[in-house]
Amino acid sequence: MPLTHLLLALAVVFVWGTNFVVIKLGLAELPPFLFATLRFTLSAFPFLLFVRRPAVPWRLLAAFGVLLGAGEFGLLFYAMRADISPGLASLVIQTQVFFTIGLAMALRGERVRPVQLLALALAVAGMVLIALRTDGSVTALGLVLVLLAAFCWGCANLVAKSAGKVDMLGFMVWSSLFAVPPLFALSWVFEGPGPMWHSVQQAGLLAWAAVAWQALGNTLFGYAAWNWLLSHHPAATVTPNALLVPVFGMAASAWWLSEPLPGWKLQAAGLVLAGLALNVLASRMTAARTA
């Protein structure tokens, strides 16, 4: 991978990792479902007025938008409001890797390698350690919600894969349109029209900057650049960079939000990252044998 492409990959994982702190800052002024609604509204408008719709069926755009919007980020934002810290959220959400593998096995008949089972066992051990240590930085509800968010991300990955090689910026813009209605409905039902309007009126510059960063930095730049890299390099070359997402996430949360990093949290992070790294190794082995 050329140096410029490597720097682009590092920029993406830096944005994705530090984004968890940005989410927490936005949630200080905006309720979670409304925050997510604004994020995907800005990801769609006004860009769909001049970004061409990719040549994929509407059902794929709708499925991806609902899974990523209401599924992943709706649940993640709700959990991060009070039930899990940004650092741990950035770590737990990476279990989407194993959900993606499991779904591919169940729906596409892909076979799992023994080393991948070991990788899964390490990651599960890390999740168990987090579950046993539920305290002010994570509750049982928060852990379950982020795991469900990771499952929705895994489902969205399979939808994106089935779309094939398309303009991923256009795919993100047009799929974001379908994330808005379910998120708006969730906000209307659970947060109420009065608090929604009041939050929009009272939101300060920091809250709107968080919304803009979510839409422009995390969604449009992050996903479009990442999928562009995947279209130019083997997945086994690009995907290892994603291991830095929880590293950036936990470091940023500790620095900006003073999130403590006790020994058990570092041990859990080590187990999960070891599982993810082992899974990447398995992917490299499979790619090498295929080549």
pLDDT tens, N- to C-terminus, the chain (291 residues): 688 888 898 899 899 989 999 999 999 999 999 999 999 999 999 899 999 999 899 999 999 999 999 999 999 999 999 899 898 898 888 888 778 777 877 776 667 677 777 877 888 888 888 877 766 678 889 999 999 999 998 898 888 878 877 888 899 999 999 999 999 999 999 999 999 999 999 999 999 999 999 999 988 898 778 877 876 776 556 666 777 888 888 889 989 888 888 888 888 888 888 887 787 777 666 656 665
Phi and psi angles of residue 135, each rounded to the nearest 5 degrees, phi first:
-150, -150
Whole-angstrom distance, CA of residue 197 vs CA of residue 187: 11
Q: What are phi and psi of 178, to 5 degrees?
A: -85, -10
Question: Residue 286: what pLDDT?
Answer: 63
- Give the SS3 label for residue 140: helix
Closest Cα to residue 39, out of 147, 170, 156, 177?
177
Bridge partners of 21, per DSSP, are none
Looking at residue 38, its pLDDT comes to 96
Distance (Å, whole) CA 70 – CA 184: 9
For residue 69, the model assigns a pLDDT of: 93
- As given in the structure block, the two tokens for residue 265 are 């949290």
- Find all residues with CB under 8 Å of 109, minimum gap 6, and list them: none
pLDDT of residue 285: 67
Would you say 183 and 69 are in contact if contact means Cβ atoms under 8 Å apart?
yes
Cβ-Cβ contacts under 8 Å for 24 (sequence gap 6 or more): 80, 86, 253, 257
pLDDT of the residue at 264:
82
Please state, in angstroms and rounded to a whole number, the distance separating the CA atoms of residues 125 and 232. 35
pLDDT for position 212: 94
Query: Which tens digits make up the pLDDT trace of 186-204?
Result: 999 999 999 999 999 999 9
Q: Is the peptide bond before 240 cis (omega within 30 degrees of 0)?
A: no
- Cβ 14 vs Cβ 243: under 8 Å: no
pTM: 0.86
**Which two tokens mark 190?**
């659970």
Nearest to 30 by CA among 211, 218, 215: 211
